[in-house]
Amino acid sequence: MVDFDVIVVGAGPGGYVAAIRAAQLGMKVACVEKESTLGGTCLNIGCIPSKALLNSSEKFMDISKHAEEHGIKATKIELDLAKLMQRKDKIVKQLTGGIGFLFKKNKIEHISGSASFIDSKTILVKSAKEEKKLSAKNFIIATGSSSIEIPSMPIDEKQIVTSTGALSLQSVPKSMLVVGGGYIGLEMGSVWSRLGTKVTVVEALDRIVPTMDGEIASNFMKALQKQGIEFKLSHKVNNAKINKDNVEVSIESSEKKELKEKYEIVLMSVGRKPNSEGLNLEKIGVNLDEKKAIKINQEFKTSVDGIYAIGDVAPGPMLAHKAEEEGVACIELIHGQKTHMNYDIIPAIVYTNPEVASVGKTEEQLKELKIEYKIGKFPFMANGRALTTSTTEGFVKILADKKTDSILGAHIIGHDAGQLIAEIVTTMEFGGSAEDIARICHAHPTTSEAVKEAAMNVDGRAIHI
């Protein structure tokens, strides 16, 4: 007789959500987690702590630089970094503790330790205290991902750091080199730039955020440059040497010109890799792809019956909300329900200031696919609510099919872009058109009116431009 109906390996956003959904459906569930706290990378060293620091640093910058325009005289502004970090840690503790409460509420057995497969129905869980074998009818692997490391850049999480170290610096560095112009590096670079660090971003490609719509990416970089962040595009870092007070970095341009520069902190942000090692997957016949992600079919099944994979350890965008949706869908399929994941309509957000949010196809992708499309854009500068809140930077961009008017993609750069994109995601999920959004009554004055106006402008009939 097996011990559980489902054992979930990993308690990140995908894993803990899958475990809770399984318990709701009446299954006997266990969740194995090797770290001392629940919540995975997202809650402990990713999404949540980074957003806490982004929020705090944005408030600091607003008060320092923009209070006067509101008639507020703020003098002798000081930063208490220790207190700022305490706030971040308090939020993390509250949320990770909340998952423990939800596990108890749903009668989910939380098992601490590292899991590895003995066979397709049994795992061995090792902790500092004990080892035990557990069996289940089904296993869901949700072990997430970790930062990619480069041998020539020895990470010590003090001077050469990943996002983990960048979230816990004890003082504001004078200078920081961010290696990689993707979401994570730009968010963490923004935090420290706002707090007074001179931030330089090195990117091997000729643009930042390569998966983003080109027009949005260009405007995004200009916005960050205005904030004082410097960019070295078409450059790569060859190696780094840690000294007592700095890191000496060798940077090479696309023309093979080399320069040596010194920075107090170097943040490595060149991507993430699936955490598929240590699970003994090869022994039981679970197939991996060239990036060591676990191969799955449309029902999240691996090459071995009864073993599933979700989230960052499986192929696809490494996003917490993608993992959560997969966790729910996977469990419901195991339970015999009919469900699906629409991977074409997963929003992606960069939580800088301005925020950037996107869903669906970019202009570049539509051109490559030879799909005829229309564009509707609307600037926040022409939006009443944005003017009253001093958040006029950016615009909404909607891409609609030229024949059917169905929304193919949408891209927003501006304050609260991550909130505004939800309306467009919903419309796309229901097969809606730009005209559908254009005909919806939006409250006034709100920044959501910019979405409506962009939808109207797909047919050239925006009112306020």
Contact criterion met (CB below 8 Å) for 412 and 396: yes
What is the rounded CA–CA span in Å between residue 347 and residue 164? 24
Q: Looking at residue 75, what is its pLDDT?
A: 86
The DSSP bridge pattern shows strands 395-401 and 373-379 to be: antiparallel
Question: CA 342, 328, 119 angle in degrees (round to 5)?
Answer: 110
The position carrying tokens 């699970």 is 279
What is the rounded CA–CA span in Å between residue 18 and residue 143? 12
Q: Looking at residue 1, what is its pLDDT?
A: 77
Residue 121: C-alpha distances to residues 7, 124, 135, 158, 454 (Å): 10, 11, 5, 42, 53
- 423 backbone dihedrals φ, ψ, rounded to 5°: -60, -40
What is the rounded CA–CA span in Å between residue 87 and residue 90? 5
What is the rounded CA–CA span in Å between residue 200 and residue 195? 14
User: Could you tell me the domains of the chain?
Assistant: 4-147+273-343 (3.50.50.60), 160-270 (3.50.50.60), 354-457 (3.30.390.30)
Q: Looking at residue 107, what is its pLDDT?
A: 98
What is the rounded CA–CA span in Å between residue 46 and residue 172? 20
> Which of 219, 462, 222, 211 lies closest to 358, judged by CA?
211
Q: List, by residue number, the catalytic residues.
A: 444
CA atoms within 13 A on the CB side of 130: 5
Q: Looking at residue 453, what is its pLDDT?
A: 98
Q: Looking at residue 76, what is its pLDDT?
A: 87
CA dihedral 203, 209, 214, 215 (to 10 degrees): -100
The position carrying tokens 């469990």 is 331
3-class DSSP state for residue 129? Answer: coil
DSSP assignment string, 11-71: -SHHHHHHHHHHHHTT--EEEEESSSSSSHHHHHHSHHHHHHHHHHHHHHHHHHHHSGGGT
What is the rounded CA–CA span in Å between residue 332 and residue 311? 16
3-class DSSP state for residue 394? Answer: coil
Task: Report the b/e string of 278-315 with b at 16+ CB within 10 A.
Answer: ebebeebebebeeeebbebeeebbbebeebbbbbbbbe
Per-residue pLDDT of the chain (465 residues; tens, 9 = 90+): 789 999 999 999 999 999 999 999 999 999 999 999 999 999 999 999 999 999 999 999 999 988 999 999 988 899 999 999 999 999 999 999 999 999 999 999 999 999 999 999 999 999 988 999 999 999 999 999 999 999 899 999 999 999 999 999 999 999 999 999 999 999 999 999 999 999 999 999 999 999 999 999 999 999 999 999 999 999 999 999 999 999 999 999 999 899 999 999 999 999 999 999 999 999 999 999 999 999 999 999 999 999 999 999 999 999 999 999 999 999 999 999 999 899 999 999 999 999 999 999 999 999 999 999 999 999 999 999 999 999 999 999 999 999 999 999 999 999 999 999 999 999 999 999 999 999 999 999 999 999 999 999 999 999 999
DSSP state of 442: P
What is the rounded CA–CA span in Å between residue 33 and residue 9? 6
Name residue 87's amino acid.
R
Residues 6+ positions from 353 with CB-CB distance below 8 Å:
54, 58, 61, 190, 415
Q: Where are the beta strands (DSSP E) in 269-406?
A: 272-274, 307-309, 348-350, 355-360, 373-379, 395-401
Q: Looking at residue 2, what is its pLDDT?
A: 87
The position carrying tokens 């699906």 is 340
